Structure 1
Amino acid sequence: RLRTAAEGLAAAATARATAAEAEAQAAARRATTAEAAAQDAARRTGFAEEARRLAEAQAAEQVRLADSARAQVALLTRQIESLRAEIARLVAALDLEEAQGRDREAQITLLGQRLNAALAARVEELQRYRSDFFGRLRQVLGERPEVRIVGDRFVFQGEVLFGPASAELSDEGRRQVRDLARVLLEIAPQIPQDVAWVLRVDGHADRTPIRSQRFASNWELAAARAIAVAQLLIAEGLPANRVAAASFGDTQPIDAGDGPAAFARNRRIELRLTDR
């Protein structure tokens, strides 16, 4: 009985040992599973932490980018406002310049109108004195065929004043020029001082070539004749600043003919009362 009891106890102990071993194995398996679960949880926790850190970093980067974008927008806004202000200033300056330009144009137009009116008045005044001058010359010189009025010019034929191919005034020529000077001296004081009149003495020649040691061309002959008349007018008392001499040679004929009569008409001294 004791043996049987011992065997029973041994079997029971064995069973308990087997059960304990099984329990230990199960516990080991549970521990392994728990460890695996713990490791998995740890891994998951690490992933979550990494994801959290990554998310935080991304969020911080987004905040930084947003702040940078807002700063860029603010800078661009300030630049746009500055450009708008500059454009407004330029537009205002252009408007002012255009307004001033219109004012200047109006002033220039007004001044031009006044100047034209003043010039027209002076021309009219000079025309009146020119008419008086020509009228007085007609009275003094009479109706002589060798002295005539052509437009606004008083014309002396060359033969009236000078000998052939000569620039020396003849006695008759001196008398004619002195009569002319006397008329001018009577009229000159009546002309206002601010009327810039001048008596222009124009010398003209025909186109016959001149053969003279003194004059190389008809232009020089015509110039010498005009100067001779001008010098005598000044010697008779006409102010030198009111007398001018010019030569046109044979360039402005009044008769295009080829005969002696045409040539005689082209040899002439013309007097013109004009402005400077």
Structure 2
Amino acid sequence: MARARTRARPFDYWPGFVDALSTMLLLFTFLLTVFMLAQFFLAREVTGKDEAMARLNRQIEELSSLLALERAGKTEADEKASLLASNLDVSEKERAKLQGSLAQRAAGDAGALALSAEKDATARALGQIEILNQQIAALRRQLAALEDALAASEKEGAQSQAKIADLGSRLNIALAQKVQELSRYRSDFFGRLRQILGERPGVTVSGDRFVLQSEVLFQSGQASLDDAGRAELDKIAVALVELQNEIPPDIPWIARVDGHTDKRPIQSSQYASNWALSAARAIAVAQYLVSKGVSPQRVAATGFGEFQPLDSGEGPDADKRNRRIELKITER
């Protein structure tokens, strides 16, 4: 009878379920820890890049100031060299003139007795020639020194230019990395929107823009969101709030809301033109996103009216495609 009761007892699944649940909890805890560590190291890396960019900007400013000073010094040295060259030319002309005068006097007195006055004049001329020779030699030394200084200045200027070019290249690389980071976040955002909204009619992705047909959000000729439109925007707002919490604050980005209409003239006393209607719809969407937690510093609203059509054809289908709200993650 004991064996019969043992065989009749139902199988106990509870211990196996508890083991599976414990394993899943441990796995989730491990994945959460890995994610937190990855976020920590990513934040440290971004902070290091920002500090490096700040140092590069300061070095560029210092080198630019030094280069400006060197250029000013080079200009002054060029002016001094030009003045010295002019003085040297004048001195050489005076020396040649005195030497010619001395030669004429010597030729005129070759057949006559040398008088005391002529000897004195000759001695004075020779003394002036010697002084001029000394001045010319001094001017030439000054010119040589200026040329050496100019050569050194040009060399330092070339080195400074090379440093500035290198720093500019490094700065461009850092900026390109920021753009790539924004592109990655933008791609993740659109991937989330695809998952959230699914394959819904009137909602498409075109390049780097998320497109919602106006009929999904508004009644014809109106800029007030209907209940169905608010429900769709609630999903987009959730994804935007997650995005603004993930993107580092030093990356300048905005979610740009663009309003578009068809080209048919508007029949409304409330809106003077399709342009006004498209702007009002874009503002309504932007304000609703802000009300759901999106930072107003990260949202911009623009109205394009009928001037940026997706379909240049005629007929109701083309008009329907052109009536739309576009959401684009872009640089500020």
TM-score range, shorter chain: 0.7 to 0.9
Match of 1:256 in 2: 312
**1:193 maps onto 2:249 in alignment:** yes
**1:94 maps onto 2:150 in alignment:** yes
CA shift at 1:136, angstroms? 0.6
Match of 2:84 in 1: none
CA shift at 1:274, angstroms? 1.4
Instruction: Encode CA deviations 1:161-220: one digit per residue, 9 max, x unaligned.
Output: 112222111211111111110111123222222222211111122222223222222222
CA shift at 1:139, angstroms? 0.8
2:273 corresponds to which letter in structure 1?
A: S
Larger Rg: 1
Match of 2:78 in 1: none
Equivalent of residue 258 in structure 2, options 202, 208, 214 = 202
**1:70 maps onto 2:115 in alignment:** no
Equivalent of residue 265 in structure 1, options 311, 317, 321 = 321
Secondary structure in structure 2 of the residue aligned to 1:131: helix
**CA distance change for structure 1 residues 246 and 88 in 2, over 3 Å: closer, same or farther?**
farther
TM-score by length of 1: 0.74
CA shift at 1:74, angstroms? 3.0
Secondary structure in structure 2 of the residue aligned to 1:249: coil
Match of 1:152 in 2: 208
**CA distance change for structure 1 residues 139 and 71 in 2, over 3 Å: closer, same or farther?**
same
Please list every run of 5 or more consecutive structure 1 residues that lacks an aligned counterpart in the other structure.
1-54
Match of 1:244 in 2: 300
Match of 1:224 in 2: 280
CA shift at 1:149, angstroms? 0.7
1:1-276 equivalences in 2 (<5 Å): 59-276=115-332
Secondary structure in structure 1 of the residue aligned to 2:178: helix
The structure whose RCO (Cα within 8 Å, separation 6+) is larger is 1
TM-score by length of 2: 0.62
Match of 1:32 in 2: none
CA shift at 1:128, angstroms? 1.1
Please list every run of 5 or more consecutive structure 2 residues that lacks an aligned counterpart in the other structure.
1-111
Secondary structure in structure 2 of the residue aligned to 1:273: strand
**CA distance change for structure 1 residues 267 and 81 in 2, over 3 Å: closer, same or farther?**
farther
CA RMSD of aligned residues (A): 2.0
Q: Distance in 2 between matches of 1:253 and 1:247?
A: 12
- Most deviating of 121-130 and 69-78: 69-78
Secondary structure in structure 1 of the residue aligned to 2:237: helix
CA shift at 1:137, angstroms? 0.3
What stretches of structure 1 move > 3 A for 4+ residues in a row?
Answer: none
**CA distance change for structure 1 residues 72 and 192 in 2, over 3 Å: closer, same or farther?**
same
- How many residue pairs align between the two structures? 222
